[in-house]
Amino acid sequence: MIRLILRSCTAGFFLLAAAMLYLQYHVPMQWPSVPGRVEFADVVPADGNSGSGGPGTRYVPAVVYSYEVSDRQYEASSVAPFRWIYRNRERAMGSLLEEGIRAGARVEVYYNPGEPAEAVLVRALPWHRWDVRLAFLVLVVLPILVVAYTVRDYLRGGESRRNDTSRGRFW
């Protein structure tokens, strides 16, 4: 019974983290949009250094766009609800171009109606990225499987652990 409770609490923690991340993306999905214009779009080292970009350097998009809400002009720089980080400059620039984000381009800007200065250009989850898929797997699928396995084991009377004398058990 203790195993069931501990595993369920652990799985609940991971599912809570997944829900919080989902809400971080879900809230901008409800935001209205206005037309905007990309003023500047480039890729810079994530650490802020303008060095040579040696091994291990990560890159982030540096974007500035302008838009108007209720006759008031705004400028923002967030591409998405989470910061995009890439291993190389070409991949980072490719992602911007894939989303149609380049200097001078007309774009849809999704803004927070309660705080119009807060805005993003891309509000969908980037499922094409392996790290997003991995996060989904670890934060959602794995905890569900742990709980399902634990409940099955509990309903069977714990027979899969009955003769297990190892010390490396999962609780």
Residues 36 and 118 in one domain: yes
In sign, the C-alpha dihedral spanning 14, 17, 23, 24 is negative
The predicted-structure confidence for 104-140, as pLDDT tens digits, reads as follows: 999 999 999 999 999 999 876 666 666 767 877 777 7
Taking the complete model, does pTM exceed 0.75, yes or no? no
Same domain, 18 and 84: no
Distance separating alpha carbons of residues 42 and 103, to the nearest angstrom: 8
- 14 with 65, same domain: the answer is no
In a domain, 164, yes or no: no
Q: Residue 16 — pLDDT band, cuts 50, 70, 90?
A: confident
Residues 54, 114 within the same domain: yes
* C-alpha to C-alpha distance for 160 and 19, rounded to whole angstroms: 31
Residue 135 lies in a domain: yes
- Vertex 148: Cα angle to 143 and 166 (nearest 5): 85
**Between 168 and 117, residue with greater pLDDT:** 117
- 80 in the same domain as 16: no
Mean pLDDT for the chain overall: 81
pLDDT value at 100 more than 80: yes
150, 80: one domain: no
- Reduce the DSSP state of residue 22 to 3 states and report it: helix
* Token pair in block for residue 167: 């010390």
| Whether residue 55 is found in the same domain as residue 135 | no
Judge whether 90 lies within some domain.
Answer: yes
- Encoding tokens for residue 128? 């094409």
Q: What residues make up the domain containing 111? A: 32-122
Q: Containing H/E element for 63?
A: strand 59-69
Residue 49, pLDDT score: 59
Q: How is residue 86 annotated by DSSP?
A: B
Q: Kindly state whether residue 18 falls inside one of the protein's structural domains.
A: yes
- Asked if residue 167 is part of any domain, the answer here is no
Distance CA 117, CA 114 (A): 9
Mean pLDDT of 22-42: 87
CA Rg, the chain, in Å? 22
Q: How many domains does the chain have?
A: 2
